[in-house]
Amino acid sequence: MPKTPNLSVEIGGLILKNPVITASGTFGYGNELNQLINLSSLGAIIVKGLSLEPMPGNPPPRIVETPCGILNSIGLANVGIKAFIKEKLPALHKIKTPIIANIYGHSMSEYAKITKIIEDTEKIAALEVNISCPNVEKGGMAFGTDSYTAAKVTEHVKKNTTKPVIVKLTPNVTDITSIAVAVESAGAQALSVTNTILGMAVDVPTRKPKLANIIGGLSGPAIKPLALYLVYKVANRVKIPVIGLGGIMNYEDALEFLIVGATAIQIGTATFVNPKTAIEVVDGLHNYCLRKKIHTINQITGSLKEYGESNEKS
Ligand SMILES: Cc1cc2nc3c(=O)[nH]c(=O)nc-3n(C[C@H](O)[C@H](O)[C@H](O)COP(=O)(O)O)c2cc1C
């Protein structure tokens, strides 16, 4: 009998039964896909981005399909942290999978306030801090594009929680590693790499932007090579675990991210194409490890070979 591979991974003290996590904004408030998949089979669920107050988001159209991807300008529409805890979270109580809250604030103090509310909420296992939204306190500059502010947000969150803090980085910067290092020094226990890449699309007959907001964030297979490169760069600079995401459609894509240094991965846009993708990736990784006689999935993380090394397949 072949030994069942151990797919579990650790993210800032949180043990996940496997490295497959659903990405924020692509899996609703967690319970919407309950009828279609067994949520307890997932490594973790990251819910829609939550703010202190409810947010209507941007006007439609706010999603448009592009070759190999989608552009979205949802604008972080959500019910607000209090309504989430009261109205949405109870549906997840029986699910045996850690629930991670993705949070964002318009100011440092908003990040701190949301964090305090979550600290008292037992069912939320960890926080993923989105630092790529506009910083109104600093005149619209994004928190995540500046090392100093990125570190300050991290400190504000860390000060107010005992739960693991994952910081989600934006790819829309010149040097992602300097932000990653600053956030790590400020106490982040893991990094998610990466959020969407800024983009736009134009309808030629009307010469209008396809998104009412003009610009949006590109996701899906179109961004996978860039996301993979960013994960590779970041994982080689920091000691904390990196969670890789961007265009993962199947278990082989997931393996690429693990090989370049990710400890875990997230499934985002792929869920819109096939709601069962995350579960299929769990099964695919399990079967791959069985086939290759890999006892623990951690053996794959950072196993990228150099070009000169033997071409023996593994
Ligand atoms: C419709 C949509 C909504 C999203 N909302 C959020 C969000 O609320 N918070 C966040 O951190 N990322 C959000 N994202 C970004 C995804 O979590 C993910 O980082 C990105 O889409 C890249 O992964 P993918 O190519 O696998 O989708 C959103 C993405 C999409 C497509």
* Residues flanking ligand 1, CB < 6 Å: 23-26, 48-49, 70, 72, 74, 76, 102, 130, 168, 195-196, 219-220, 223, 245-248, 268-270
Ligand 1 atom at minimal distance to the Cα of residue 194: 19
Ligand 1 atom at minimal distance to the Cα of residue 220: 25
**Span 195-211, average pLDDT:** 96
**Span 182-192, average pLDDT:** 98
Q: How far apart are CA 183 and CA 189, in angstroms?
A: 9
**Span 52-77, average pLDDT:** 93
Please tell me the predicted confidence (pLDDT) of residue 311.
74
Q: Per-residue pLDDT tens for 253-267?
A: 999 999 999 999 999
Q: How far apart are CA 3 and CA 105, in angstroms?
A: 46
Q: How far apart are CA 21 and CA 306, in angstroms?
A: 29
- Report the C-alpha dihedral over residues 113, 117, 123, 126, rounded to 10 degrees: 20
Distance 268 CA to ligand 1 centre (A): 6
**Span 194-222, average pLDDT:** 96
Distance 165 CA to ligand 1 centre (A): 18
Element of type H or E holding 265: strand 264-267
Please tell me the predicted confidence (pLDDT) of residue 76.
85
- Token pair, residue 17, equals 């039964």
DSSP string, 75-98: ---B--HHHIIIIIGGGGTT--S-
**Span 298-307, average pLDDT:** 96
Q: Per-residue pLDDT tens for 214-226?
A: 999 999 999 999 9
Residue 16 has pLDDT above 50, yes or no: yes
Residue tagged 């079967």 (tokens): 287
User: Does the active-site annotation cover 68?
Assistant: no
**Using 50, 70 and 90 to split pLDDT, how confident is the model at 309?**
confident
- Of 9, 16, 37, 133, the catalytic one is 133
Residue 139 has pLDDT above 50, yes or no: no
Pocket test for ligand 1, best of 269, 272, 277 (most atoms within 8 A of CB): 269
Distance 161 CA to ligand 1 centre (A): 24
Q: How far apart are CA 209 and CA 201, in angstroms?
A: 6
Residue 140 has pLDDT above 80, yes or no: no
On average, the pLDDT of the chain sits at: 94
Beta-bridge mates of residue 219: 70
Please tell me the predicted confidence (pLDDT) of residue 135.
39
Q: Where are the alpha helices (DSSP H) in the chain?
A: 81-83, 108-119, 147-159, 176-185, 224-235, 251-259, 270-273, 277-291
Nearest CA to ligand 1 atom 6: 25
SS3 state of residue 17: coil
Q: Which domains does the chain have, with CATH numbers?
A: 9-57+73-198+217-299 (3.20.20.70)
Q: How far apart are CA 42 and CA 155, in angstroms?
A: 29
Ligand 1 atom at minimal distance to the Cα of residue 46: 17
Neighbouring C-alpha atoms within 13 Å toward the C-beta of 16: 31
Distance 27 CA to ligand 1 centre (A): 9
Q: Per-residue pLDDT tens for 148-157?
A: 999 999 999 9
**Using 50, 70 and 90 to split pLDDT, how confident is the model at 136?**
very low
Q: Which region among 22-31, 138-147, 287-296, 305-314 has the lowest average model confidence (pLDDT)?
A: 138-147
Please tell me the predicted confidence (pLDDT) of residue 134.
44
**Span 120-127, average pLDDT:** 97
Nearest CA to ligand 1 atom 29: 25
Residue 83 has pLDDT above 80, yes or no: yes
